[in-house]
Chains A and B, each alone.
Chain A
Amino acid sequence: MHKRVTFDSKILPYLLVAPQVLITIVFFIWPSYQAIWQSLILEDAFGGNTRFVWFRNFEKLFEDDAYWHAMRVTVVFSILVAGIGLAASLLLAVMTDRVVRGTEVYRTFLVWPYAVAPAVAAVLWGFLFNPSVGIISYALRKIQIDFNYVLNGEQALLVVIFAACWNQFSYNFLFFLAGLQSIPRSLIEAAAIDGAGPSRRFWTIVFPLLSPTGFFLLVINVLYAFFGTFGVVDALTKGGPAKATEILVFKLYNDGFRGQDLGGSAAQSVILMLVIVALTVVQFRFIERRVHY
């Protein structure tokens, strides 16, 4: 895609792209190169001695049980965040699309969690589930369930998942709603005339037509669960208790800044970059193949 009509100038275009390109090089490309380089060397604590060790840092990482633990936590976490988040937002989007009166009002009341920072969402949910003052943990105690996310790892993971889903909800909801509203009414009317009930219409027409949106959102949600939820974890549990909520980005941050394990954290960076590249490629390929329109 190019413009047919362009301007001629020797230096002006370079001046115009310069700020963006400069920032990209200094703050994106150079650090990424550093991460890759760091992952291949061993450096002593004072930075004096560097040795090129090929993939030793990666081997060490893969032999580390803590890394596999963080990997498992991340996988469980992303499946649940994406699963619960997408199911809830799809349900609400379908219902909002159904009601004739009040769609706009409902939408207003459902979009604003997007504006809340992940770390703030964590504070809100942590307060609801707080072992001593939380209203939900109080209610649970009334029905004989002992809920203490500060001590119990599984419960901690649950609270982190709730906060993350809540925070990401509006985003999913808006995309599903936009997807639903772009489905031609005539299609659904035709099915209704042929005698298909609401649930049959949903599963045979609406759902397949929404699948590109759903797939796109799946990738975005996995990316969100992998990278966007750092604030939730840091503000709510700091990876604890006993590393039960230590997802990969949090471990990367913890090893790099607290543990001062530069090689190990650089290797983790590189692996996460590969995850992003893979997800981006998958997204581009699938979106092209699976569009139903």
Chain B
Amino acid sequence: MIENRPVLTVISHLVVLLGVLIVAFPVWMTFVASTHDQTTMLRAPIPLLPGSHLIENYGTVLFEGFGNSAGRMPLWVALLNSLIMALGICIGKIAISIISAFAICYFRFPLRMVFFWMIFFTLMLPLEVRIVPTYKVVADLSMLDSYPGLIVPVIASATATFLFRQFFLSVPDELTEAARVDGAGPLRFFKDILLPMSRTSIAALFVIQFIYGWNQYLWPLLITTKESFYTVVMMLSRQVNTVDAAPHWGYIMAMAMLSMLPPVVVVIAMQRQFVRGLVETEK
């Protein structure tokens, strides 16, 4: 507190509260809509307070599915697909990044810097700009409509590799020396010393990459044609854009809520690691 200006403090609180309300408003309306039946939703104006069809709507969406035959699939299948994809991407990225950072930091070998720059290169090429040829590669490897196809092409990560490299560079050399004196080989040193020490970095990355994986959209949209591989986010977009008579808003919004829930819970529950991960991966 620099000085006492009660009016300014009150204004600050009001502005922040207003911000919180604006940020929350779309989600509130989504929640409200997910608890009403179709007849209520089609009568303007739509209600601003929750209704009584919560269990019914969520139950239908989760276990029966709705809409025309093409997109009709219980949502739990898509939720499971999203979970598999998110965990696969997240764990895959962390695993391959930590071992490559270990190699680059703790060994001297020819081509070391070539590999380093090759990994850096990936930082510059978001999937969106090379989408057509990447699709072709995955099609040629016959990885369309499969979990490896959803996961493997997106798990190379320059940011994660840099984060681990940064961390390894800050680990004192004395530790390595001590380990070597005690006769530990590189793998032993990695498993018993480096890996436990990287816990916090791994947790921070986990949050960021889980969200990244869960929220993938373009990639699953392109490479899955079978409904049994649809993910939640793309299914939601498909349902909204189907040219049915009138979209069933109660169901669609229940679906939207369910598609947001897992990543939002992860962010709020692991807020400290999340903030850390966000700020550190961008350095």
A218–chain B nearest beta-carbon distance, Å: 13
Tell me the bound Cα distance from A109 to B180 in angstroms.
Answer: 48
Q: Does A118 contact B (CB under 8 A)?
A: yes
Tell me the bound Cα distance from A115 to B205 in angstroms.
Answer: 14
- In residues 204-218 of chain B, which contact A (Cβ within 8 Å)? 211, 214-215, 217-218
- In residues 101-115 of chain A, which contact B (Cβ within 8 Å)? 102, 106-115
Tell me the bound Cα distance from A125 to B256 in angstroms.
Answer: 12
Q: Does B245 contact A (CB under 8 A)?
A: no
Q: For A32, give its contact among B8, B103, B130, B161 (CB under 8 Å).
A: B130
Q: Which of B52-60, B62-70, B71-79, B261-269 contacts A (4 or more CB under 8 A)?
A: B261-269
B103 lies within 8 A of A16 (CB): yes
Q: Does B173 contact A (CB under 8 A)?
A: yes
B282 proximity list for chain A (CB < 8 A): 175, 216, 220
Task: Please count how many residues in chain B sit with their CB below 8 Å of the partner chain's CB atoms.
Answer: 106
Q: Does A57 contact B (CB under 8 A)?
A: no
Q: Which of A48-56, A61-69, A75-83, A88-96 contacts B (4 or more CB under 8 A)?
A: A88-96
Tell me the bound Cα distance from A57 to B266 in angstroms.
Answer: 46
Instruction: Classify the secondary structure of B's interface with A.
Output: helix
B107 proximity list for chain A (CB < 8 A): 6-9, 12-13, 16
A28 lies within 8 A of B130 (CB): yes
B20 lies within 8 A of A109 (CB): yes
A29 lies within 8 A of B103 (CB): no
- In residues 1-20 of chain A, which contact B (Cβ within 8 Å)? 1-9, 12-14, 16-17, 19-20
Q: For A120, give its contact among B100, B108, B260 (CB under 8 Å).
A: B260
Q: For A92, give its contact among B8, B19, B130, B260 (CB under 8 Å).
A: B19
A99 lies within 8 A of B136 (CB): no
Tell me the bound Cα distance from A31 to B130 in angstroms.
Answer: 6
Tell me the bound Cα distance from A95 to B136 in angstroms.
Answer: 49
When each residue 272-290 of chain A gets 1 if its CB lies under 8 Å from chain B and 0 otherwise, what string results?
Answer: 1100110010000000000
A126–chain B nearest beta-carbon distance, Å: 7
- In residues 124-153 of chain B, which contact A (Cβ within 8 Å)? 124-126, 128-138, 152-153
Q: For A34, give its contact among B12, B126, B133, B267 (CB under 8 Å).
A: B133
A106 proximity list for chain B (CB < 8 A): 16, 20
Q: Does B202 contact A (CB under 8 A)?
A: no
Nearest B residue (CB) for A275: B129
Instruction: Classify the secondary structure of A's interface with B.
Output: helix
Q: Does A87 contact B (CB under 8 A)?
A: no
B247–chain A nearest beta-carbon distance, Å: 9
Q: A1-B169, A127-B33 are in contact. Are A96 and B100 (CB under 8 A)?
A: no
Q: Does B278 contact A (CB under 8 A)?
A: yes
B240 lies within 8 A of A198 (CB): no
Tell me the bound Cα distance from A46 to B123 in angstroms.
Answer: 33
Q: Does B156 contact A (CB under 8 A)?
A: yes
Complex A-B: 30 CB contacts under 8 Å: A7-B186, A16-B100, A16-B103, A19-B100, A20-B100, A25-B118, A28-B130, A28-B156, A31-B137, A35-B133, A88-B19, A95-B15, A99-B16, A106-B20, A109-B20, A110-B20, A111-B274, A111-B275, A112-B264, A128-B29, A132-B44, A175-B278, A230-B218, A231-B237, A234-B217, A235-B241, A253-B218, A256-B131, A273-B129, A276-B124
Other than the given A256-B131, A273-B125, 6 more pairs (CB < 8 A) read A12-B103, A20-B119, A92-B19, A117-B259, A135-B45, A135-B48
> A residues engaging B (CB < 8 A)?
1-9, 12-14, 16-17, 19-21, 23-32, 34-35, 38, 88, 91-92, 95-96, 98-100, 102, 106-128, 132-133, 135, 138, 166, 169, 171, 174-175, 178, 185, 188-189, 192, 198, 216, 220, 227-228, 230-231, 234-235, 238, 249, 252-253, 256-257, 262, 265-266, 269, 272-273, 276-277, 280
> Considering the complex of A and B, which 5 residue pairs feature the smallest CB-CB distances, nearest first?
A117-B215, A16-B103, A31-B133, A34-B133, A115-B263
> B residues engaging A (CB < 8 A)?
1-3, 5, 8-9, 12-13, 15-16, 19-20, 23-27, 29-30, 33, 41-42, 44-46, 48, 95-97, 99-100, 102-109, 112, 115, 118-119, 121-126, 128-138, 152-156, 161, 168-169, 173, 176-177, 180, 185-187, 189, 211, 214-215, 217-218, 221-222, 233-234, 236-237, 240-241, 249, 252-253, 256, 259-260, 263-264, 266-268, 271, 274-275, 278-279, 282
